[in-house]
């Protein structure tokens, strides 16, 4: 690898690490952001809405891919992803300054969502540019190795965000961090932005793009060429459904959902959970390079397909093991203390609603399920007689619920209902606590070695599907429309299929009472990608990326 090639990889990767750092700060702090910006909702709805705001950044990523992909194919790779990093850094910095809900009311979450969308637009243009730029500097036969360095950046950005958060937490203490310290990691991004801009200004344009521009072969209409012609649109669709959708859910299950599972369901404290995830990322990250190099030898497709298949067939075994090693007392309580809600099914609402308020759930069934869902206590549903009042059965204890009523203004529960609900919740939680169903993870009984092994396994699956994907996407499209064509399926896959995973999985758990039910989402998508990929995706490792120019 020449000095110039090393500079290309270093400059592209470092800037992209900082951009992922900015983007994932929000996800790492979702629980605190829920309290700061969505405090007008009840706790479950606030957390789901915070995750939806997190997802908003993912939802607009494909639009960023279209806007900046078009620019990248028309004016060049270098200047396009210089623009994206400025937008990302500025939006992140402003989040750190944004007043919360208590200060400016509904404007706070509205502005927050707008900033998340700006971040998503920027990231939609960043990844395709960085991957294309590095791939077009790579020698034939080594594109998997060269682009695998870009593939480490998402994980390294997440790792950096976790480390900065942990550092600030330790420095100011938990109370201060929840109050104002959470803003510091966002404000730090302005320094990273300065470094990134300086580095990217020193980079040269991709030689492939320079050559194409000198020959007058750049695309005048990248969008219509990419998506208006069936021969290319067909490849875009195959790339989405046969590669990036499964890759995305494996990535987000192995890193974000694992963190969510540890902190909410296994009840591991945030610092310990973040340290365990960070350790797994450190151990697993070199495998991005390993699988990138391996893909140059045996092909991209078999490695990506193997990662999707392993995820689909092992997640339902792995996550119960994760709970067992993280919180054995809680796992035993789940296995030995049956919990059920007996209610008229017609009186039960969808518990995963992202816009619900506490007062929207007035039936006895809703009250019963709400307290269990908010405390991640798994339960089974039993159909009761029509019109019956719901009850919660915890072991041998039965706690009857009540149908709540609203006050005259219909903006709060009546005094009688409020007291009844409070008494009901206390009775349920007292019984759950007595039976070990709310037990916090104990550091002494926690098997951190086995937790680490499981988390490393999940990260290795991530490296299998993600390490070779950039090279494969680059190789599927011609130079003149490569930035645009590869960015869209990547960001629909990772932005929509992957980015919606935490929100969707949490809502599925809240709605059913089954703490593992959310895993059906990544399992079904990964399995579908494996089938489509095996049938329709062609191997690309020996493709000449300039053959179609």
The reported pLDDT for the residue numbered 75 is: 74
Q: Cβ neighbours of residue 232 under 8 Å, at least 6 residues apart?
A: 225, 226, 477, 481, 485
The reported pLDDT for the residue numbered 47 is: 67
544 domain-assigned: no
Instruction: Please give the average per-residue pLDDT across 217-235, as a whole number.
Output: 81
pLDDT class of 25 with cuts at 50, 70, 90: confident
CATH number, domain with residue 224: 1.20.1250.20
Say whether pLDDT at 45 is over 80: no
Whether 286 and 371 map to the same domain: the answer is no
478 domain-assigned: yes
* Count of CA atoms in the C-beta half-sphere (13 A) of 185: 30
Whether 261 and 315 map to the same domain: the answer is yes
Say whether pLDDT at 354 is over 80: no
User: What are the tens digits of pLDDT across the range 486-535?
Assistant: 888 988 998 889 878 877 888 888 888 899 999 999 999 999 999 999 99
219 domain-assigned: yes
- Cβ–Cβ under 8 Å, residues 352 and 393: no
Phi first, then psi: what are they for 105, rounded to 5°? 65, -140
Whether 421 and 376 map to the same domain: the answer is yes
Whether 179 and 305 map to the same domain: the answer is yes
The pairing of strands 380-383 and 339-343 is parallel
User: What are the tens digits of pLDDT across the range 444-477?
Assistant: 999 999 999 999 999 999 999 999 999 999 899 8
Strand partners, 394: 339, 397
Query: What integer best gives the mean pLDDT of the chain?
Result: 87
Using the 3D structure, point to which of 388, 410, 434 is the last residue of a domain.
434
Instruction: Please give the average per-residue pLDDT across 238-259, as a whole number.
Output: 93
The reported pLDDT for the residue numbered 217 is: 67
Instruction: Please give the average per-residue pLDDT across 201-230, as a whole number.
Output: 74
542 domain-assigned: no
Q: Cβ neighbours of residue 379 under 8 Å, at least 6 residues apart?
A: 339, 340, 341, 369, 372, 392, 513
Counting runs of H as helices and runs of E as strands, what totals does the chain give?
Answer: 26, 4
DSSP 395-413: TTEEEE-----B-TTSSSB
Cα separation, 229 vs 69, whole angstroms? 17
DSSP 306-324: HHHHHHHHHHHHHHHHHHH
Least confident segment among 227-236, 316-325, 347-356, 461-470? 347-356
CATH number, domain with residue 375: 3.40.30
pLDDT class of 42 with cuts at 50, 70, 90: low
User: What are the tens digits of pLDDT across the range 108-138?
Assistant: 888 988 998 998 888 888 777 778 778 877 8
Whether 50 and 94 map to the same domain: the answer is yes
What are the angstrom distances between the C-alpha of 65 and each of 27, 279, 467, 471, 479? 21, 32, 20, 17, 16
Cα separation, 23 vs 368, whole angstroms? 37
With pLDDT > 70 as the criterion, what percentage of the chain qualifies?
94
The reported pLDDT for the residue numbered 66 is: 86
pTM, 2 dp: 0.85
Cα separation, 342 vs 390, whole angstroms? 5
- Residue 394 structural domain: 337-434
pLDDT class of 356 with cuts at 50, 70, 90: low
Identify which of 230-234, 259-263, 531-535 has the greatest average pLDDT: 531-535
486 domain-assigned: yes
Say whether pLDDT at 199 is over 70: yes
Say whether pLDDT at 306 is over 90: yes
pLDDT class of 1 with cuts at 50, 70, 90: low
Using the 3D structure, point to which of 434, 469, 489 is the last residue of a domain.
434
Instruction: Please give the average per-residue pLDDT across 358-374, as a whole number.
Output: 90
**Nearest partner of 251 among 56, 466, 58, 54, judged by Cα:** 466
State the DSSP code for 205. P
Whether 24 and 161 map to the same domain: the answer is yes
Say whether pLDDT at 251 is over 80: yes
Count of structural domains, the chain: 2
Using the 3D structure, point to which of 404, 434, 464 is the last residue of a domain.
434
Whether 255 and 355 map to the same domain: the answer is no
Whether 321 and 451 map to the same domain: the answer is yes
Residue linked to tokens 């591991």: 268
Strand ranges (DSSP E) for 344-417? 380-383, 391-394, 397-400
Whether 528 and 386 map to the same domain: the answer is no
Our CA dihedral for 317, 321, 322, 324, rounded to 10 degrees, sits at 150
**Nearest partner of 477 among 234, 301, 140, 291, judged by Cα:** 234
Higher-pLDDT residue of 372 and 44 is 372
With pLDDT > 90 as the criterion, what percentage of the chain qualifies?
45
548 domain-assigned: no
Cα separation, 259 vs 257, whole angstroms? 5
Whether 419 and 492 map to the same domain: the answer is no
549 domain-assigned: no
Say whether pLDDT at 313 is over 90: yes
Whether 40 and 189 map to the same domain: the answer is yes
Strand order across the beta sheet in which 397-400 lies: 380-383, 339-343, 391-394, 397-400
Cα separation, 289 vs 295, whole angstroms? 10
258 domain-assigned: yes
Whether 177 and 116 map to the same domain: the answer is yes
Angle (CA) 482-486-489 rounded to 5° is: 155
């Amino acid at each position: 690898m020449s000095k110039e090639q090393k500079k290309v990889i270093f400059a592209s990767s470092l800037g992209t690490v900082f951009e992922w750092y900015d983007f994932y700060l929000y996800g790492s702090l979702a629980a605190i952001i829920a309290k700061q910006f969505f405090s007008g909702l009840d706790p479950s709805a606030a957390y789901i809405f915070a995750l939806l705001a997190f997802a908003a950044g993912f939802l607009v990523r494909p639009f960023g891919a279209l806007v900046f992909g078009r620019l990248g194919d028309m004016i060049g790779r270098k200047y396009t992803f210089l623009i994206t990093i400025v937008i990302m850094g500025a939006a992140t910095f402003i989040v750190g300054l944004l007043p919360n809900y208590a200060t400016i009311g509904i404007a706070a979450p509205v502005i927050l969502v707008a900033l998340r969308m700006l971040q998503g637009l920027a990231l939609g243009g960043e990844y395709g540019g960085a991957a294309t730029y590095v791939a077009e500097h790579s020698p034939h036969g080594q594109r998997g190795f060269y682009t695998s360095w870009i593939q480490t950046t998402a994980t390294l950005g997440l790792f950096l965000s976790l480390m900065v958060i942990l550092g600030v937490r330790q420095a100011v203490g938990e109370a201060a961090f929840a109050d104002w310290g959470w803003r510091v990691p966002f404000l730090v991004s302005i320094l990273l932005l300065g470094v990134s801009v300086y580095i990217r200004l020193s980079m040269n344009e991709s030689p492939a793009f320079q050559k194409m521009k000198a020959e007058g072969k750049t695309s005048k209409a990248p969008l219509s060429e990419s998506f208006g012609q069936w021969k290319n649109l067909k490849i875009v669709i195959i790339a989405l459904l046969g590669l990036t959708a499964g890759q995305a859910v494996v990535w987000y299950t192995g890193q974000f959902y694992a963190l969510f599972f540890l902190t909410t369901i296994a009840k591991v404290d945030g610092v310990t959970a973040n340290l365990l995830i960070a350790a797994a990322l450190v151990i697993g990250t070199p495998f991005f390079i390993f699988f990138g190099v391996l893909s140059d030898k045996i092909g991209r497709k078999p490695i990506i397909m193997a990662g999707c298949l392993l995820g689909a067939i092992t997640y339902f075994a792995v996550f119960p093991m994760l709970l067992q090693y993280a919180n054995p007392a809680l796992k035993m309580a789940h296995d030995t203390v049956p919990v059920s809600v007996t209610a008229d099914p017609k009186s039960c609402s969808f518990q995963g609603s992202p816009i619900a308020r506490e007062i929207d759930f007035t039936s006895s069934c809703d009250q019963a399920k709400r307290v269990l869902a908010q405390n991640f206590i798994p339960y089974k549903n039993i159909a009761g007689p029509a019109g019956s009042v719901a009850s919660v059965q915890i072991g041998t204890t039965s706690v009857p619920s009540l149908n709540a009523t609203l006050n005259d203004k219909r903006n709060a529960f009546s005094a009688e209902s409020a007291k009844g609900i409070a008494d009901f919740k206390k009775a349920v939680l007292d019984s759950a606590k007595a039976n070990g169903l709310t037990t916090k993870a104990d550091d002494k009984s926690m098997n951190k070695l086995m937790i680490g092994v499981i988390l490393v396994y999940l990260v290795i699956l991530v490296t299998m599907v993600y390490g070779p994907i950039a090279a494969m996407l680059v190789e599927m499209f011609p130079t003149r429309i490569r930035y645009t064509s590869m960015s869209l399926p990547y960001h629909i896959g990772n932005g929509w299929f992957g980015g919606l995973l935490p929100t969707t999985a949490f809502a599925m758990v809240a709605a059913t009472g089954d703490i593992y039910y959310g895993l059906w989402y990544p399992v079904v998508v990964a399995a579908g990608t494996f089938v489509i990929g095996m049938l329709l995706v062609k191997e690309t490792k020996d493709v000449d990326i300039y053959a179609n120019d």
